C-alpha cells in the first residue's frame, strides 16, 4: 500500500505508528485529515462528512441508540521524536503516541472492522485541540453542524490508562484586584499599599477547604488556588494596584454561574476592589447512570474514575450528550519528549470497545 493511503487492516498498534509518522501539529492537520477521510470513504457502511480539517463518519443502521467515538488529530510541536520507534518491550515512542494517535488508531480500527455494530456509531476526528479553545475543531463542528455530534453517549479516546474517567471538573479563572494610593516609599504613610491589601485574599486562599463531592459514585476534588500574583510600580513607590489570579477547579455538580457566585462569596469581605472573570469553562457530569454508559462500563470493566482536569467531554455535555474519557496511554506522558505508549494497551482498548459494540 502506498504512503499516500492508510491501511486499516493493520492492527491498532501498527496503525498508531503509521499515524505518528504523519506529522500533524495543530494548524497543520490537512495531510492527516485527508488520509483519514480517504480511508473512511473506502468503507461502504459509513457516510462521511468533512468540515475544514474535521472528519465525521456515521453508520445509518436505525439502531435505537447512537454512540460517538471522538478523538483529535493534532499534536503539540514535534521535539525530535518523530518518526516513531518501537522498542523491544513493545513500547511505541514518539510525539502523539499517547496524546492521542493511539486513540485515533482505535477509532479507525473500530470503524473498519465493526460494520454492523449493535448501536449506531459516529466517529469524530477533529483538529486544533492542543491550542486556543476558540480554534478547537470539536467546538467548531458543534457550532456549524451540531447534528453531526448527536448521540446518546460519547467516548473521548484521550489517554486515561485504559480506565474510564467520568465527566470532568469545570475551571474558572478570576482576577481579584486590590487598590491603594501611590506615595514615595520614604513617606509611606502618605499612601496606601495595595499589596498589603491583598493579605486577606491570600489568607483566605491558604485556609480554603475544598469540597470532595461524590457524583454518580465518583469522588471529585475541587481546588481554589492563586496561580499568579503581581503588584508593584518601582522599588521606591507604594504600589496602588495588585492582582491575584485565582483558578477554581470545581466539581460538575456546580454550574458555571454557581462557581462564579461561590468565588465571589469566598472573597466577599477581603477588600477586593474589582472582580474580573477571565476564563470560564463548565464541567461535565459523568452521566454514568445512562443505560449506554452502564453497558459501556460493563463491557470495558474496571472502576470509573473522576476526571479532575477539563476536557472536551464538556463540549459533549453542553450538547446534552453524556461523555467519558477512555483511551490507551498515560496522560502524564503527554506533551513530553519521551512520550510513549504500551502497544498492549492500544490493543486492549480496541478489543474492549469492539466487545461493547458487538455483544
Residues forming the site for its own copies (CB under 8 A): 169, 171, 173, 184-189, 193, 195-199, 202-203, 205-206, 210, 221, 223, 225-239, 242, 244-245, 247, 249, 279, 308-310
Angle 340-346-351 (CA atoms, 0-180°, nearest 5)? 175
CB of residue 187 vs its own copies: minimum separation in angstroms? 5
Identify which of residues 37 and 158 has a Cβ nearer to its own copies in the complex: 158
Identify which of residues 90 and 271 has a Cβ nearer to its own copies in the complex: 271
Question: Cα torsion at 22, 25, 28, 32 (round to 10°)?
Answer: 30
The one catalytic residue in 74, 127, 158, 312 is 74
Identify which of residues 45 and 173 has a Cβ nearer to its own copies in the complex: 173
CB of residue 231 vs its own copies: minimum separation in angstroms? 5
129 assigned to active site: yes
Q: Strand pairing partners for 57? A: 48, 123
Identify which of residues 235 and 359 has a Cβ nearer to its own copies in the complex: 235
CB of residue 238 vs its own copies: minimum separation in angstroms? 6
The one catalytic residue in 37, 99, 127, 129 is 129
Question: Cα torsion at 78, 80, 81, 87 (round to 10°)?
Answer: 180
- Burial of 18 from C-beta contacts in 10 A (0-12 / 13-18 / 19+): buried
Q: How would DSSP label each residue in 174-190?
A: EEEEEE-B--BGGGGGG
Identify which of residues 9 and 188 has a Cβ nearer to its own copies in the complex: 188
Identify which of residues 4 and 227 has a Cβ nearer to its own copies in the complex: 227
Among 128, 153, 155, which residue's Cα sits nearest to residue 139? Answer: 128
CB of residue 339 vs its own copies: minimum separation in angstroms? 16
CB of residue 227 vs its own copies: minimum separation in angstroms? 5
List, edge to edge, every strand of the sheet that includes 153-156: 47-51, 54-58, 120-126, 66-72, 153-156, 323-325, 165-166, 305-306
The rounded distance, in Å, linking the Cα atoms of 321 and 310 is: 16
The rounded distance, in Å, linking the Cα atoms of 28 and 340 is: 22
CB of residue 123 vs its own copies: minimum separation in angstroms? 28
Strands 153-156 and 66-72: parallel
- Burial of 354 from C-beta contacts in 10 A (0-12 / 13-18 / 19+): middle
Backbone angles phi, psi at 187, to 5 degrees: -130, 60
Active-site amino acid positions: 74, 129
Amino acid at each position: 500500500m502506498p504512503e499516500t493511503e492508510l491501511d486499516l487492516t493493520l492492527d491498532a498498534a501498527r496503525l498508531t505508528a503509521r499515524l505518528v509518522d504523519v506529522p500533524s501539529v495543530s494548524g497543520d492537520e490537512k495531510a492527516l485529515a485527508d488520509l483519514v477521510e480517504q480511508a473512511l470513504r473506502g468503507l461502504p457502511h459509513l457516510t462521511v462528512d468533512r468540515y475544514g480539517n474535521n472528519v465525521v463518519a456515521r453508520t445509518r443502521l436505525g439502531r435505537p441508540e447512537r454512540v460517538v467515538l471522538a478523538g483529535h488529530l493534532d499534536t503539540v510541536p514535534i521535539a525530535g521524536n518523530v518518526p516513531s520507534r518501537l522498542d523491544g518491550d513493545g513500547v511505541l515512542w514518539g510525539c502523539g503516541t499517547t496524546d492521542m494517535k493511539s486513540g485515533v488508531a482505535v477509532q479507525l480500527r473500530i470503524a473498519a472492522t465493526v460494520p454492523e455494530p449493535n448501536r449506531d456509531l459516529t466517529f469524530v476526528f477533529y483538529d486544533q485541540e492542543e491550542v486556543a479553545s476558540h480554534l478547537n475543531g470539536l467546538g467548531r463542528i458543534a457550532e456549524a453542524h451540531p447534528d453531526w455530534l448527536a448521540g446518546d453517549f460519547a467516548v473521548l479516546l484521550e489517554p486515561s490508562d485504559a480506565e474510564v474517567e467520568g465527566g470532568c471538573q469545570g475551571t474558572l479563572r478570576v482576577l481579584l484586584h486590590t487598590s491603594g494610593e501611590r506615595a514615595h516609599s520614604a513617606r509611606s504613610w502618605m499612601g496606601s499599599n495595595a499589596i498589603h491589601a491583598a493579605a486577606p485574599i491570600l489568607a483566605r486562599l491558604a485556609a480554603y477547604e475544598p469540597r470532595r463531592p461524590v457524583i454518580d459514585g465518583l469522588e471529585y476534588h475541587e481546588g481554589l488556588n492563586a496561580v499568579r500574583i503581581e503588584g508593584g510600580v518601582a522599588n521606591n513607590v507604594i504600589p496602588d494596584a495588585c492582582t491575584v489570579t485565582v483558578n477554581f477547579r470545581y466539581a460538575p455538580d456546580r454550574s458555571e454561574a454557581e462557581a462564579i457566585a461561590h468565588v465571589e462569596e469566598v472573597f466577599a469581605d477581603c477588600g477586593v476592589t474589582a472582580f474580573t472573570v477571565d476564563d470560564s469553562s463548565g464541567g461535565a457530569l459523568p452521566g454514568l447512570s445512562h443505560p449506554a454508559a452502564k453497558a459501556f462500563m460493563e463491557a470495558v470493566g474496571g472502576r470509573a474514575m473522576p476526571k479532575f482536569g477539563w476536557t472536551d467531554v464538556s463540549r459533549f455535555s453542553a450538547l446534552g450528550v453524556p461523555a467519558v474519557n477512555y483511551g490507551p496511554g498515560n496522560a502524564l506522558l503527554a506533551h513530553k519528549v519521551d512520550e510513549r505508549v504500551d502497544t498492549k494497551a492500544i490493543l486492549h482498548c480496541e478489543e474492549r470497545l469492539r466487545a461493547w459494540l458487538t455483544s
